[in-house]
Structure 1
Amino acid sequence: MTEVVFQATVAGAGRVDLVATDYKGHQRTMASTTVDSANASTRLSVPVATTQFLDGGALFVRFTTTSSELSVQDAEWTVAAPEKLRPTSVVICTFNRADDCANTVAAMADDPIALLGVDNVYVVDQGTDQVQTREKFQRVAAELGDKLVYITQPNLGGAGGFTRGLYEVQGKGGDPANVIFMDDDVLCEPEAIVRMNSFANMTVEPAIIGAQMLYLLHPDRVHVGAEVANLQKLEAGVHVKNAVSDKSAFKRKRQQDVRVDAGYNGWWSCLIPSEIVGQVGYPLPLFFQWDDIEYGYRSRANGFATVTLPGAAVWHADFAWKDWDEWHRYFNLRNGMITAALHIELDGRTLAKQLFTDLLRYLVSMQYGMAYTLIKSVEDFLAGPEHLLDGGMDAAGSIRRERAAYGETKRHNANDVPGVRPADMFITPAGPTPNSKLEFAVLAKRVLNQWRGTVDPGPVAISADDAHWWHVSLFSHAIVTDRSQEGVRVRKRNKAHAVELLRRGVAVLKRLRTETPAVAASYRAAVPQLTSRENWARLYSTDV
């Protein structure tokens, strides 16, 4: 592709400039034309060369008028059509978010332009409160007719829900196709479907094309322009150098001019070409968390890039407003270890040291449920790939039940905290962050004080932003604001919990130090079977 054409219907008088930026954000005018058509409408068509954008840059249009009026309608950027348009399916997986899912499907169905490029919409319902019971969905289903495919299945998480769409499309055979994943709880912008699909149809070779994420609570802010993972540290969502990160899309100087490469794209909205599935297999049955990361890294290792496409986006719940102390942290840790074991030479000794520090921080912060979650994730990682055979259904249920034994995992209404009056919850700000050279010494001191019980008895109130381990550990009773801002957690010192969790944690981290190479080898050997069509057919209880 060497040219893009800007088209619009215009009337009146004015000037139209097509402006480009380079990778540094510097502007240059690529083409200009004047309009003087009085009240008559005319179709404007302005071609622009795209041969000097290797390191980045953007194109935009600027309209200028003086005393006259200029109206603009039906503006679009077009390129020469490919020889053949690929079939496209959208896959939405949902679990007990029936209203959200109905809204997402309706947003697509109500946009005829977006729907023109979509052959099927798969709704994979894994919940008990099913979307098919909603009037809005029933209306949309009637409008979509055979284009809508509604599937119910056991809850296999996002991995199992989205993979079902790939599974169904691959099962059709025929021409290579595009499969677009869409979360059920996003605020869907159907234009994102058009842009991802159009871009995918023009790539020189198949590539994963992802939409960006905007924050629902802060709708002008872009989550990240491109991200990777630090596999050794189990850190997801590491923004690429020079990528926009948590910035307003309205500020010119913060837009994404320089080209950046992504290691993966989140599956809030992401297109996967069927050729990739044919070569690298289906996603791993990880239930959810890191399934998108693992698939992106596996695809890249097999020669398929990921592009996070500027200008294509959906609105998704702000990550910063989701509390980390939840059951899904189990899957984040376990699946991070599995992904690292598959794609790097995971250093078990270094990881064990890191997780031991995390364990101590949880214990001194009176986050006993988090400590248990960490321990359980390591135990199950070391159990090997056999524990993935049910697609994560047992693990999802058991971790929630087992975490419930720890009181601070429950969220309370701020006006109804057990045994504490609102007047007793005096906000106590955190002190400065410990010097990095002294951090472990501070942690050791906090461990000793919590062990002895030589801490402020409380209760105190601590904001979500101040709930650092070095601050919460100064008390034996703290009321901590949940990240969602919808309630509080009650953390109470419990030496018996701390002793048992420390003992169990030390034991499993010793195993992690020595067993990681053998366990990693077992996961690598199991990938072909776990990602096979036959394995997913077994999980779906369908014929291959």
Structure 2
Amino acid sequence: MEQATAGDTTAIESNTDALDGALSEPVHRDRLIVQRGVFASLSPRVPGKMYVVTKGDAATDRYGLQLADGATAHTNTYFGRFPASFWQRWTDVKTVNLQLTYGCSGSARIVVHASDARGRERVVTVETVSGSGELDLEVPIERFVDGGAIWFAAEASNGSVLVSDARWTVAAPEHLRPAAVVICTFNRADDCTVTVGTLASDDGAMADIDAVCIVDQGTDQVRSRPAFDEVAEKLGSKLIYLTQPNLGGAGGFSRGMYEITRSANSAHANVIVMDDDILCEPESVLRLNAFANMTVQPTIVGAQMLSLSNPQVLHVSAEREVLDEIKAGALTPGAKMGVDLTKKKQDPRFDAGWNGWWTCLLPAEIIADCGLPIPLFFQWDDIEYGIRARFAGHPTVTLPNAGVWHADFYLKDYDDWARYFSIRNGLVVSAIYGRFDGPGISKYLFRKISELIVSMQYGLAATFIKAAEDFLAGPDFLYDGGQSVLKELRELRDRYPETKPLPASQVGKESDPHTQMSVWDFEPDKKREGLVLLKRAVQQLAGRVDRRPVTVPADYADWWHVSLFGGAVVTDASQNAVRVRRRDKDTALDLAKRAAKVCWQLRKEAPRMKTVWQEAMPKLTSRENWARLYGIDD
């Protein structure tokens, strides 16, 4: 979750007494609902085909499906599919039951289908029903190891049919784990109120949630909103509201984890962390919690990220890290990225290296074994925790039918203060868990900084350099939880004009269309990129560049394009502004020297820094360190 500035210190409310009584004793029941038949979204923005596909005269509401004579419906959809492959891989459940209520004016057919890893479909069972009643079909979870799902279809063959209260259930474990949701927020009071209110509105999803803990780190607080009073009344004693200084996403989520795992009955609890600004689907929370109750060992269970601006589009199925390239997200085998979920299915089973904390479940046993997150303030804290858990033998599963909608990353410009944290924290995580080969990591970083310099992104190059310098300074800069560096970042970036977004209407005259076209006519062969970069650097330093005005769309703002010119007006990825880049030889030379110095130091110091950061981990992630940052007694 983004935290743009350090919030003013507020009084810390440690509502520990409320937390101590928040988690219930483990309970027992015969059947556990692991997925409900949801036929419509709570939001009009989400296409109905994400839940159910109908043909003919049909009507749907949240939990009901009405089909006229001859109409059909199927739930071979994102939220309609039961992810059988994941259940066969991670649980010892052998069968799942489809239970539903029906009412027919004539007769209808209920058909259960299944797929395999290649998307080939098969019919599992067919039941013809008439009149009204309840249906209970037992479906074996078999032949799904490499992939596949189960779903059902309804056909009104003679008269109309109403299907309601559909649910997939399994034999419940001996004791159901208590669960608590933690939402971290910073000056997004309206967003947070809506998110918590959406979750609270679903009694079924909230049935197994014992506490909702809001960690408010902002100056514009959630409790100041009139609408929040209604949410608080709805949640009643389940609501825990804490305030503290802005310690970033890491500090906010860690506070909730800290408080919940020290409360009564928390030894086998599930802690579900959730961003404040998502479009929440409460059904996903139910599915995460149910799955985590049935895994054969404590398992981190994450929701997928869906696109907020294109709600049917998947961000990525599951991710892993590439530490040698300081890269947080890469596709895992079998995973998909950027696909339209109304057209594509996630049939192959995929594994996950980690799961982002937009919505993610963390069992208390894993927290007890691995400790609390590292105080990185922003970015990589969730990734580091997933890697740490994996190294300790705790798996992460990203469920393909549990998702929430999050603001799209592609609308955030790369030239941003947050890039400091992605580089600095990426170096930290790479040092702790990766090979952290000095020559390799320093060469990669110098290459990236050089690309920024030739494309006249001087402020961003300086941001990268500071990130590397601070990493090399060692763990002491995390002593305050990461707040002080924000002021330094603002001051640093303010010195470089191209970091400031400007209204497109206020920038210069139109570019020559012939010049503009030449910008995207060329893309170097991957094998020759190094030579092209060297050539561009020489041209920039010598001033052998095209001096005509040029405007460059965001999608074409690659370094090999922009570096052809002495200046360029580049569209910001947000599509709300532009950045004006201008060649400055003296600045470029200064940054190149600084980059060479810090990368040479990184090359030499890599083995020592690996040891330094690994040795610092137990203290950084300890409850005592976080209690100090919170200003409370452990």
1:286 alignment partner, one of 376, 386, 390: 376
Q: What is the CA–CA distance in structure 2 between the aligned matches of 1:286 and 1:458, rounded to whole Å?
A: 43
User: How much has 1:67 moved relative to structure 2?
Assistant: 4.3
Matched with 1:233 is 325
Q: What's 1:137 paired with? A: 228
User: Where does the alignment leave 5 or more consecutive residues of structure 1 unmatched?
Assistant: none
CA deviation vs aligned residue, 1:513-534 (integer Å, no higher than 9, x gap): 0101101101100111111000
State the match for 2:130 in structure 1: 36
Aligned to 2:440: 350
**2:249 pairs with 1:249:** no
Q: Distance in 2 between matches of 1:110 and 1:222?
A: 25
For 2:497, which of 407, 416, 419 is the aligned residue?
407
Alignment partner of 1:284: what SS? coil
Q: Which residue of 2 aligns with 1:214?
A: 306
Match of 1:104 in 2: 195
1:158 to 241, 244, 249: 249
Looking at structure 2, the residues matched to 67 and 413 of structure 1 have their Cα atoms a distance apart, in angstroms, of 62
Give SS of 2:604's match: helix
Q: Contact conserved, 1:425 with 1:479, CA < 8 A, in 2?
A: no
Residue aligning to 2:155: 64
Amino acid at match of 2:121: Q
Which amino acid in 2 is paired with 1:237?
G
Matched position secondary structure for 2:575? coil
Residue 183 (1) aligns with residue 275 (2): yes
Paired AA for residue 513 in structure 1:
R
Question: What are the superposed Cα offsets for residues 454-475 of structure 1, whole Å, 9 maximum, x if unpaired?
Answer: 2122321100000010110111
Give 2:488's aligned residue. Answer: 398
Instruction: Give the distance between the partners of 2:95 and 2:512, measured in 1 at CA.
Output: 63
Say which structure, 1 or 2, has more relative contact order (CA 8 Å, 6+ apart).
Answer: 2
CA distance in 1, matches of 2:264, 2:566: 61
Deviation per CA, 1:260-290: give whole Å up to 9, x if none. 1100001100000010011111110011111
Q: Which whole-Å CA distance do the structure 2 matches of 1:173 and 1:499 have between them?
A: 60
Correspondence 1:529 to 2:623:
no
Measure the CA separation in 1 of the matches of 2:441 and 2:417: 21
Aligned to 2:355: 265
Bigger CA drift: 475-484 or 431-440?
Answer: 431-440
User: Percent identity over the alignment?
Assistant: 50
Pair 1:18 & 2:108 matched = no
Q: Indicate the residue corresponding to 1:8 in structure 2.
A: 100
Work out the CA distance in 2 between the residues paired with 1:496 and 1:310: 51
* Counterpart residue number, 1:372: 462
1:294-309 map, 5 Å: 294-309=384-399
SS in 1 for 2:414: coil
Q: Which amino acid aligns with 2:102?
A: V
Q: CA contact under 8 A between 2:114 and 2:122: conserved in structure 1?
A: yes
Q: Distance in 2 between matches of 1:84 and 1:96?
A: 39
Matching residue within 271, 276, 287 for 1:195 = 287
Deviation of 1:425 after TM superposition, in Å, equals: 8.1
Does the residue aligned with 2:498 lie in a helix, a strand or coil?
helix
Q: Counterpart in 2 of 1:48?
A: 139
Distance 1:198 1:401 in 2: 48
Please provide the CA RMSD for this pair.
1.3
Q: CA deviation at 1:424?
A: 4.9
Distance 1:220 1:539 in 2: 40
Moved more, 295-304 or 17-26: 17-26
Greater alpha carbon shift after TM alignment, 491-500 vs 63-72: 63-72
TM-aligned CA distance change 1:425 to 1:410, over 3 Å: farther
TM-score by length of 2: 0.83
Tell me the SS of whatever aligns to 1:519: helix
Deviations 1:501-520 (A, max 9, x none): 11111111000001011011
Q: How many Å separate the matches in 1 of 2:574 and 2:346?
A: 29
SS of equivalent to 2:324: coil
Q: Secondary structure at the match of 2:325?
A: coil
Structure 2 unaligned residues grouped into runs of 5+: 1-92
- 2:406 is aligned with 1:310: no
User: Are positions 1:74 and 2:165 aligned together?
Assistant: yes
- Correspondence for 1:341 among 413, 431, 440: 431
Contact 1:244–1:255 (CA<8 Å) still a contact in 2? no
- Check the 8 A contact 1:5/1:47 in 2, yes or no: yes
Q: Which amino acid aligns with 1:81?
A: A
For 2:591, the aligned partner's letter is L
Aligned residues: 536
Distance 1:483 1:76 in 2: 42
Aligned with 2:278: secondary structure?
A: coil
Task: Find the aligned partners of 2:289 and 2:394 in 1 and give their Cα distance.
Answer: 17
CA-CA distance at 1:295 after TM superposition: 0.5
Tell me which residue corresponds to 1:431.
521
Q: What corresponds to 1:146 in structure 2?
A: 237
Structure 1 SS opposite 2:601: helix
- The code of the aligned residue for 2:268 comes to P
Local SS of the residue matching 2:535: helix
Is the Cα–Cα contact under 8 Å of residues 319 and 330 in structure 2 kept in the other structure?
yes
**Aligned mates of 1:470, 1:139 — CA distance in 2:** 54
Structure 1 stretch 65-74 or stretch 439-448: which is displaced more? 65-74
Distance in 1, matches of 2:100 and 2:363, equals 31
Match of 1:385 in 2: 475
Indicate if the aligned counterparts of 1:261 and 1:307 stay in contact, CA closer than 8 A. Answer: yes
Q: Partner letter of residue 178 of structure 1?
A: N
1:70 Cα deviation from its structure 2 partner = 1.9
Q: Tell whether 2:204 aligns with 1:93.
A: no
Q: In 1, are the aligned partners of 2:481 and 2:629 still within 8 Å (CA)?
A: yes
Instruction: State the 1:351 CA deviation.
Output: 1.1
> Matches of 1:215 and 1:91 in 2, distance apart?
22
Q: TM-score, normalised by structure 1?
A: 0.96
Mapped to 1, the partners of 2:417 and 2:200 lie a distance apart of 34
Of 21-30 and 194-203, more deviation after overlay is shown by 21-30
Distance in structure 2 (CA, Å) of the matches to 1:52 and 1:79? 18
CA–CA distance in structure 2, aligned partners of residues 528 and 59 of structure 1? 44
Deviation at 1:443, TM superposition (A): 1.1
Partner of 2:382, secondary structure, is helix
User: Residue by residue, what CA displacement relative to the aligned partner does 1:376-430 show, whole Å, maximum 9, x if unpaired?
Assistant: 111111111111111111123321221111111111111123xx24x45865441
CA 9–425 in structure 1, closer or farther in 2 if over 3 Å, else same:
farther
Q: Which amino acid aligns with 1:211?
A: A
1:216–1:316 CA contact under 8 A, matched in 2: yes
Q: Is the 8 A contact 2:100 2:166 kept in 1?
A: yes
